[in-house]
Structure 1
Amino acid sequence: MNGPLNFSADALAEEAATLQQKLGAGLATLREVDDVDFGATTRQEVWRDGKTVLYRFIGTEPRRQRGEEAPTAKIPLLISYALVNRPYMVDLQSDKSIVRNLLARGEDVYIIDWGYPDRSDRFLTLEDYIERFIGGAVDHLRDTHGLDAVNLLGICQGGAFALCYAALHPDKIKNLITMVTPVDFHTDDNMLSNWVRNMNVDLFVDTLGNVPADTMNLCYLTLKPWRLFVQKYVGLVDILDDKRAVEDFLRMEKWIFDSPDQAGEAFRQFVKQFYQGNGFVNGGITIGDREVHLGLVEMPVLNIFAEQDHLVPPSASKPLKGLIGSSDYSELSFRGGHIGIYVSSRAQKEVPGAIHEWLRDRA
């Protein structure tokens, strides 16, 4: 007989037995789980400035020998990721890798690894990240490939950096791709922006210096507390008897909590000019002594956003169309969230192919 909560004693007993079975199987599974890491594709350091390293993805040896991962694209693709996480979400594991799928289509893929800032990096500015690091990587690729301009893919905060660089140096960027990139920071559904809009960022940075990674992680987790503090760990019970699924779960957890500290001065500038000043829309973004005007972004632009993104909602990304000077603007709407756009099976099928075809049409 069902009680007032609409479940029976038999159903409750069956659920308890299933839980006990899963937990028992989990003890065996956890003894078999291998050490997990992220970054599935072989890469080679080609340029360095301080802690910032430019890597070229070179694929796996057997596939290179068969010519399956030899780049056929004549223009390299440089990836600029956000500062708040390690950049290898785009290459998390062999079956969840946008990078590997781009390589398989012949793209020549590079990525900037910002490293782990320490106290010696406290006074790095946005000019350092955009002009010195992105600019240095772009110039290295231009020199080594004998090109005037390269392709640039900016992701999340790295997309905002890419937009700034493209506006300041439009002659050096052939095609620009932005993925889950915030442009209008003052939309009503941007919870993170609403949180920090009235923050005393000067007091915050002057007190802490660099911003601890744990502080940033806690902020992001509390955007969806039930899902990220409770539900996903309850859901872990359901996969405890699946070694591969457990390893996938642990790999994602390792990536989430392997976050760099934030260089204090750059953090101050980014919060003030982007989150609080909404500088792409209102003006006022200054990199060094130069002001950023998105109207100078006149190269082809592909803007990719995720429909269920809680960090960068589509309403924050889509205004890019009306702000840039390019007449060649395309959008790709992905059915998923901020993380799913990198690692879901749908993403592996849709995103790399769309990027490759868009670039191929503008080669």
Structure 2
Amino acid sequence: MSELGRKDFKNPVDRMAHVAITRFTGGLSPVSLSLAWMDWAMHLAMAPGLQAGLLEKTSHKLAQLAVYVRQSIADPASEPAVEPLPGDNRFRAAEWNSPPFNVYAQSFLLAQQWWWWAIHGVRGPSQHHKDVVWFCARQLLDMLSPSNFLLTNPALLKSTLEQGGTNLIRGWQNWLEDQERQTAGKPPAGVENFRVGEQVAATPGQVIYRNRLIELIQYSPTTTDVLAEPVLFVPAWIMKYYILDLSPDNSMVRYLVERGHTVFMISWRNPDSEDHALGMEDYLRLGVLDALEAVGKICPQHRVHLVGYCLGGTLATITAAQLGRDNDDRLASMTLFAAQTDFTEAGELLLFIDDSQLTFLEDMMWDRGYLDASQMSGAFQMLRSNDLLWSRLVHEYMLGERSPMFDLMAWNADSTRMPYKMHKEYLRKLFLNNELANGHYLVDGRPVAISDIRAPVFIVGATKDHIAPWRSVYKFRLQADVPVTFLLTAGGHNAGIVNPPGKPRASYQMETHLEGTPYLDPDAWAERTPRQEGSWWPAWQQWLVQHSSAQAWSPPAMGNAAAGLVPLCAAPGRYVLRL
């Protein structure tokens, strides 16, 4: 192909056109959505039997509703025609059992059932396209739910009558405050009570290394003796590191330090447009490998417990695979928190991953040089729009009640960005092409594979994780040639990991899969493995102890002046504060 031909593929006029379109579509590709809809609609148009079945199902749903209405008039406690889906709490309040609100709720749930069957019952469209159509239909259904409107929500209506409408006034004030904060670029209300370095990210330590991408924090010891093997955390660069060092009662870092572990933390620099050319190779070399080199100079001759969270876990896996491939035995173990390495079952995030969607996303990032956090948070909210969007709007803007801010919410509002090249490579190489799981991911021009990893592995999945579904996380076992301990905890992507002892209703399941033992599918594993009450942190910490040497050591010095590693500033450092 000629040079002109290659340049035509990246014509800036086309890119600017895509950027303009995404400003109206929220970053979504209209081509991708149209292809999905046409695939479904054309197959439905050519299915007269299914069309007749849909008419029959419509009649059946109306009959179900009519029977329920008649029975509920005679007995308000009669069985509903349809129950909400698991986790759908919109109609749980007792007021929804009274007419006419029970009819509103049942009509909505029956319509939701009908649409699910109408979309998934069509034969011929690709599963991806059916999932996209159902996702869009669900967004519309959630928006039109009777729970979102004053006159059709009995709990909201009751509260408004009791308060004489003052709740609506408070809700209006809440909305105005949020709009003012958003326009001014301020964080949500209440975040100011969780200042980084004071209420959160307050575990004492020093930044002992800095490059253009990371600061490396070494935490101050609190015990007389420590375990020989240090712990190096690799957080996701999509988030600030201090989710692992929240308030003192919620800090995993503090928990480990108090139990005799020497802990290091990578703090990623928040990129801007000048960092658009930073790629996955930079995050590997300037990030994990540089951090490992520094840790090795402070704790020489001791192997390292490498711990990765979310995207940081994927990068930690690539690092461990490269070290194993190159016969480098610096790792004592590897732990992954809610991290995927095989992306074929990555949940609803895959709805936003196809060639068309990535083209529009890449052009949107090309315009700025990075992906803005608001665009990422919008996509995550859409995955759970019922819980994260509409229920919140009703609670804060109609009931007029502010949910109290807490440390995890404050951290979630402290957003980050991702550079153009890195995010493009991550989405195409890992999400779209699944190169790591397929053994095609290249480091230094040679492929790495999960089977190259030589250190024992501990993996944590969360039951309600919609970003890294636990069944997808579990698939690491299929390709590993080392003992893998899998732990399934209750909770979501963040709350399941921030799970200190003393947290109510905490539970987990854990089992070690040894080489040569038969493989169990995730559901069979969950059914067979006993559940244990309480936080999983002590079980993991004991696992670290079991994979450490028995000899106790004096805590290492803060940095290593002889190796050029001197304390630069106190934790939490400059990068997390954007200084």
Assess same fold via TM > 0.5. yes
Which structure 1 residue ranges, 5 or more long, are not aligned?
Answer: none
Residue 33 to residue 305, structure 1, CA distance change in 2 (3 Å): closer
Tell me what 1:172 maps to. Answer: 330
Contact 1:98/1:342, CA 8 A, preserved across alignment: no
Scaled by the length of structure 1, the TM-score of the pair is 0.83
Scaled by the length of structure 2, the TM-score of the pair is 0.54
Tell me what 2:349 maps to. Answer: 192
**Paired residue secondary structure (2:226):** coil
Tell me what 1:269 maps to. Answer: 425
Distance 1:202 1:47 in 2: 37
Distance 2:191 2:315 in 1: 38
Contact 1:341/1:347, CA 8 A, preserved across alignment: no
Q: How far 1:212 sits from its partner (Å)?
A: 1.8
Distance 1:8 1:289 in 2: 63
Tell me what 2:100 maps to. Answer: 4
Alignment deviations for residues 151-174 of structure 1 (CA, whole Å, 9 cap, x no partner): 100111100000000010132211
Residue 150 to residue 323, structure 1, CA distance change in 2 (3 Å): same
Q: How far 1:102 sits from its partner (Å)?
A: 1.8
Residue 14 to residue 186, structure 1, CA distance change in 2 (3 Å): same
Q: How far 1:247 sits from its partner (Å)?
A: 3.7
Q: How far 1:196 sits from its partner (Å)?
A: 1.1
Residue 77 to residue 32, structure 1, CA distance change in 2 (3 Å): closer
Contact 2:206/2:219, CA 8 A, preserved across alignment: yes
Residue 31 to residue 22, structure 1, CA distance change in 2 (3 Å): farther
1:132-151 aligned within 5 A: 132-151=286-305
Q: How far 1:5 sits from its partner (Å)?
A: 2.6
Distance 1:334 1:355 in 2: 12
Alignment deviations for residues 81-101 of structure 1 (CA, whole Å, 9 cap, x no partner): 111111111122122222222
Higher RCO structure (Cα 8 Å, ≥6 apart): 1
Distance 2:189 2:284 in 1: 45
Tell me what 1:210 maps to. Answer: 370
Residue 200 to residue 33, structure 1, CA distance change in 2 (3 Å): closer
Residue type of the alignment partner of 1:303? I
Q: Residue 118 in 1 paired to residue 272 in 2?
A: yes
Residue 318 to residue 22, structure 1, CA distance change in 2 (3 Å): same
Distance 1:193 1:32 in 2: 33
Residue type of the alignment partner of 1:155? Y
Q: How far 1:45 sits from its partner (Å)?
A: 0.4
Distance 1:314 1:361 in 2: 25
Q: How far 1:338 sits from its partner (Å)?
A: 0.6
Q: 1:226 aligns with which of 386, 389, 392?
A: 386
Q: How far 1:263 sits from its partner (Å)?
A: 1.1
Q: 1:58 aligns with which of 192, 196, 220?
A: 220
Q: Residue 160 in 1 paired to residue 314 in 2?
A: yes
Contact 2:229/2:302, CA 8 A, preserved across alignment: no
Distance 1:42 1:118 in 2: 28
Contact 1:217/1:257, CA 8 A, preserved across alignment: no
Tell me what 2:486 maps to. Answer: 331
**Paired residue secondary structure (2:480):** coil
Residue 101 to residue 239, structure 1, CA distance change in 2 (3 Å): farther
Residue type of the alignment partner of 2:375? T
Distance 2:265 2:469 in 1: 25
Tell me what 2:536 maps to. Answer: 351
Contact 2:160/2:167, CA 8 A, preserved across alignment: no
Which piece of structure 1 moves more, 304-313 or 140-149?
140-149
Which piece of structure 1 moves more, 80-89 or 102-111?
102-111
Q: How far 1:71 sits from its partner (Å)?
A: 6.0
Contact 2:437/2:449, CA 8 A, preserved across alignment: no
Residue 32 to residue 108, structure 1, CA distance change in 2 (3 Å): closer
Contact 2:230/2:303, CA 8 A, preserved across alignment: no
Aligned length: 343
Alignment deviations for residues 319-341 of structure 1 (CA, whole Å, 9 cap, x no partner): 11121221x21111101111112
Alignment deviations for residues 57-102 of structure 1 (CA, whole Å, 9 cap, x no partner): 237xxxx4xx4xx662211101111111111111221222222222
* Identical-residue share of aligned pairs (%): 22
- CA RMSD in angstroms comes to 3.2
Which piece of structure 1 moves more, 200-209 or 225-234?
200-209
Residue type of the alignment partner of 2:209? W
Tell me what 2:547 maps to. Answer: 362
Residue 332 to residue 14, structure 1, CA distance change in 2 (3 Å): same
Distance 2:277 2:189 in 1: 45
Residue type of the alignment partner of 1:352? W
Contact 2:213/2:286, CA 8 A, preserved across alignment: no
Which piece of structure 1 moves more, 110-119 or 35-44?
35-44
Q: How far 1:306 sits from its partner (Å)?
A: 0.5
Q: Residue 48 in 1 paired to residue 194 in 2?
A: no
Residue 8 to residue 31, structure 1, CA distance change in 2 (3 Å): closer
Q: How far 1:280 sits from its partner (Å)?
A: 2.7
Tell me what 2:201 maps to. Answer: 39
Q: How far 1:33 sits from its partner (Å)?
A: 9.2
Q: How far 1:20 sits from its partner (Å)?
A: 5.6
Q: How far 1:175 sits from its partner (Å)?
A: 0.5
Distance 1:47 1:99 in 2: 18
Computing the radius of gyration from Cα coordinates, the structure with the larger value is 2
Residue 155 to residue 32, structure 1, CA distance change in 2 (3 Å): closer
Distance 2:168 2:262 in 1: 44
Residue type of the alignment partner of 2:473? S
Q: 1:290 aligns with which of 432, 446, 458?
A: 446
**Paired residue secondary structure (2:535):** helix
Q: How far 1:22 sits from its partner (Å)?
A: 12
Distance 1:114 1:217 in 2: 19
